[in-house]
Structure 1
């Protein structure tokens, strides 16, 4: 189920990301590499959540050119070294859209946010792409109970 867009204040997040190129549906491979880096570096104590960033519109960008990052939300004390990259999203106003259920709904949710809500909203985005936060773990809940927030930074 794709919810309604709300505007709310969101705290700043620090992300440790690992790059992925290709279909967004294949981001699981990048998450596997991310998990390996955190396992090897004994960094789990710094993980506060999981997130992802898609930089390109899959409706206009060829699949093999799509860029994204699989990320963990991390504490300030987390060391971030290659192959990880540090990404910051500032605190402030965000348009937030929650999706309940399968990740296969995410393309429709992004279309709702970007093609329907945003043009009619009168809002201005902050020049950062939206990112998604996974509010629970697909290894711990059934697919129908997955919860994902898409957050678009606003001015």
Structure 2
């Protein structure tokens, strides 16, 4: 696993907050996609797509799982019926890992960073959510060809 230490600038995003069982995250993703298409604020063709993991999907109780589905924006969004709100991914240092393959195996990479790499490095996790940048997604590519950058915030 190749890990790069990068500095990111703050990223303004529109976010749909998902709270509940990880198995229902797909419904929230579809709602966010519908908002994105309808609003025009965050066109997929030229704005990045992110996911912010506020909690571990393997943790219990699963009803407390929190994950934000996000699209980069260049202006504040207005109130809407979808529940999409303004947020910001904070600037700072991050460990970055590129993952190729199904999103179902992203947690394995996150676990490898937090359980294996972090304790053996001299780095300390910053109090900010781990986040994912989805560089491509199904149906534009096959599931096993998806590319996702994982950002692990560091002090």
Same fold (TM over 0.5): yes
Q: Is 2:137–2:143's contact at 8 Å kept on the other side of the alignment? A: no
Deviation at 1:78, TM superposition (A): 4.2
Deviation at 1:66, TM superposition (A): 0.7
Q: Is 2:59–2:65's contact at 8 Å kept on the other side of the alignment? A: no
SS at match of 1:151: strand
Q: Is 1:15–1:87's contact at 8 Å kept on the other side of the alignment? A: yes
SS at match of 2:47: strand
Please list, as runs of the form range in 1=range in 2, the aligned pairs for 1:9-28 lying within 5 A after superposition. 9-28=7-26
Deviation at 1:50, TM superposition (A): 1.2
Instruction: Pick which of 3-12 and 29-38 moved more.
Output: 3-12
Q: Is 1:7–1:95's contact at 8 Å kept on the other side of the alignment? A: yes
CA distance in 1, matches of 2:98, 2:39: 32
Q: Which residue of 1 aligns with 2:64?
A: 65
CA distance in 2, matches of 1:137, 1:42: 19
Q: Which residue of 2 aligns with 1:38?
A: 36
CA distance in 2, matches of 1:144, 1:21: 27
CA distance in 1, matches of 2:32, 2:2: 31
Change (3 A) 1:118 1:144: same
Q: Which residue of 1 aligns with 2:27?
A: 29
CA distance in 1, matches of 2:78, 2:94: 26
TM-score (norm 2): 0.85
- Give CA deviations for 1:113-141 in whole Å, capped at 9, x if unaligned: 11111122111222101111101121111
Listed as ranges, the gaps of 5+ residues in structure 2 are: none
Q: Is 2:99–2:148's contact at 8 Å kept on the other side of the alignment? A: yes
Please list, as runs of the form range in 1=range in 2, the aligned pairs for 1:113-128 lying within 5 A after superposition. 113-128=113-128
CA distance in 1, matches of 2:4, 2:78: 32
Q: Is 1:18–1:85's contact at 8 Å kept on the other side of the alignment? A: yes
